[in-house]
């Protein structure tokens, strides 16, 4: 009966049991910030700057020597897109895929388990005696143990996006992670041993990446912008999260031969505020103002400040010759910062999310200050080389008038 049922079980039941078993496998947050189990589309995988592992569905398998496997094609689709929009944080994703050769054995184990479980659930209608029920219980336990072993054997490929040449295409390297322990644990070990996922970063490696790709001709680089680069581009190291970067920055700033400086912001006069270079700092912020400063630039500012501190004040000649003079001076009034203006380009595919962030981080902060007059103007520009049809022109113009646009209109060549 069990053999007959195993052959005739509904494939949908087998597939659902496989997904349930994948979801039951536990992972450690210190290895991955989040997991996605068998996503049905790229839109099911969040686009965030924390390291995530995607466990591909059983149908997306990989086979050794197969450079264009279903698993690699699925990984490429998820990495490049989130639904209909391009994915931003591509360097935050890795993938675990089943082995094509072991998938058949896992499906057989699933069918055998479900067959014995169905008999167990129908013990009363089948009128099983005590000996038969004991036999069913033993086989349920045996087939479930086999099922769990086959699951770990099957999910034995780690697929990692790498970008050895920034001007070339992204490659999807497949690494075999065989073993009987959790595929999450095996994937995490492989990633860390090969430095494809970094939980603790050397400050010297950080400086090397700054020199290789990121400084360019700039005297400084925003700390948050640096993390954006690391999270987006697969030719840069893959860090577990932003805390790994902050720890490396703190270590670098504190070292006597610091490879870079840290400042809380650049003042209106171009002077770095809260500059730390060659000494520990307790104020290490991860925000839009914090920056890393080139070592020679940081040293130059420190030398200038030290020179101004030790230079003695000049004594007027009249005082040197015994004829003191009294000069009354009015201290200069501090310069007030009274106006802010900002212009930003928004991704039309992500405008709702980006506008919400701008309202929260900029507009609400300004409007919350008593006595602050805030004016907001939205400018929209659209170009379509093939031209807009008459229906679109009428609709947009009518909507613009209804919404009381100050100015609007279409133009021809």
pLDDT at site 408: 78
Q: Band of the pLDDT at 326, cuts 50, 70, 90?
A: very low
Q: Band of the pLDDT at 360, cuts 50, 70, 90?
A: low
**CA 150 to CA 104: how far, in whole Å?**
10
Neighbours of 356 (CB within 10 A): 10
pLDDT tens profile 200-246? 999 899 999 999 888 888 899 999 999 999 999 999 999 999 999 99
Which residue is it, tokens 């929260």? 360
> What pTM was estimated for this model as a whole?
0.72
Burial class (CB in 10 A: 0-12, 13-18, 19+), 40: exposed
pLDDT at site 316: 55
Q: Are 37 and 20 in contact (CB under 8 A)?
A: no
CB-based contacts of 129, cutoff 8 Å, min separation 6: none
Q: Band of the pLDDT at 45, cuts 50, 70, 90?
A: very high
Instruction: Map out the domains of the chain as residue ranges.
Output: 2-193, 203-306, 384-413
Residue 44 has pLDDT above 90, yes or no: yes
pLDDT at site 312: 56
Beta strands in 89-235 (DSSP E): 93-98, 155-162, 171-176, 220-222
Which string of b and e fits 387-410 if b means at least 16 CB within 10 Å? eeeeeeeeebeeeeeeeeeeeeee
Q: Choose among 253, 270, 271, 254: nearest CA to 262.
A: 253
Cross-strand bridge partners of residue 35: 53
Residue 328 has pLDDT above 50, yes or no: no
Residue 129 has pLDDT above 70, yes or no: yes
User: Between 387 and 108, where is the model more confident?
Assistant: 108
Between the CA of residue 371 and those of 326, 328, 367, 374, what are the distances in Å?
42, 35, 9, 10
Q: Are 52 and 35 in contact (CB under 8 A)?
A: yes
Q: In this structure, what are the phi and psi dihedrals at residue 175, rounded to the nearest 5 degrees?
A: -120, 130
**CA 238 to CA 89: how far, in whole Å?**
11
Which residue is it, tokens 């769990």? 148
Give mean pLDDT, residues 275-289. 86
Q: Band of the pLDDT at 368, cuts 50, 70, 90?
A: low
CB-based contacts of 148, cutoff 8 Å, min separation 6: 21
Residue 148 has pLDDT above 50, yes or no: yes
pLDDT at site 206: 93
**CA 351 to CA 358: how far, in whole Å?**
10
Give mean pLDDT, residues 33-52. 93
Give mean pLDDT, residues 26-38. 92
């Amino acid at each position: 009966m069990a053999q007959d049922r195993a052959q005739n079980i509904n494939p949908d039941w087998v597939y659902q049991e496989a997904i349930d078993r994948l979801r039951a496998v536990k992972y450690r947050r210190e290895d991955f910030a989040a997991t996605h189990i068998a996503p049905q589309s790229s839109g099911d995988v969040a686009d965030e700057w924390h390291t995530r592992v995607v466990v591909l569905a059983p149908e997306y398998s990989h086979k050794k020597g197969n450079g264009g496997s279903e698993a690699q094609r699925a990984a490429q689709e998820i990495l490049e897109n989130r639904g209909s929009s391009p994915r931003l944080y591509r360097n935050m994703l890795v993938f675990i895929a089943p082995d094509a050769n072991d998938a058949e054995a896992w499906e057989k184990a699933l069918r055998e388990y479900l067959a014995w479980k169905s008999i167990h659930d129908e013990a009363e209608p089948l009128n099983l005696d005590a000996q038969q029920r004991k036999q069913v219980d033993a086989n349920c336990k045996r087939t479930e143990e086999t099922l769990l072993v086959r699951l770990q054997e099957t999910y034995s490929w780690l697929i990692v996006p790498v970008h050895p040449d920034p001007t070339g295409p992204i490659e999807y390297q497949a690494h075999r992670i065989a073993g009987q322990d959790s595929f999450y644990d095996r994937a995490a070990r492989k990633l860390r041993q090969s430095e494809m996922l970094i939980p603790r970063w050397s400050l010297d490696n950080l400086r090397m990446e700054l020199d290789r790709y990121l400084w360019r001709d700039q005297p400084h680089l925003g700390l948050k912008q640096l993390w954006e680069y690391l999270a987006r581009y697969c030719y840069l190291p893959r860090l577990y999260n932003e805390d790994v970067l902050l720890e490396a920055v703190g270590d670098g700033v504190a070292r006597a031969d610091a490879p870079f400086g840290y400042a809380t912001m650049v003042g209106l006069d171009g002077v770095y505020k809260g500059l730390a270079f060659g000494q520990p700092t307790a104020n290490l912020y991860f925000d839009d103002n914090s920056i890393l400063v080139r070592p020679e630039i940081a040293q130059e500012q420190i030398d200038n400040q030290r020179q101004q501190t030790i230079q003695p004040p000049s004594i007027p000649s009249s005082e040197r010759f015994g004829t003191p003079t009294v000069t009354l001076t009015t201290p200069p009034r501090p310069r007030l910062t009274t106006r802010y203006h900002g212009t930003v380009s928004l991704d039309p595919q992500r405008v709702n999310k980006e506008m919400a962030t701008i309202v929260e981080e900029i507009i609400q902060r300004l409007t919350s200050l008593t006595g602050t007059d805030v004016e907001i103007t939205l400018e929209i520009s659209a170009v379509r080389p093939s031209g807009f049809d008459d229906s679109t022109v009428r609709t947009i113009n009518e909507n613009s008038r209804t919404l009381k646009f100050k100015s609007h209109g279409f133009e021809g060549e």
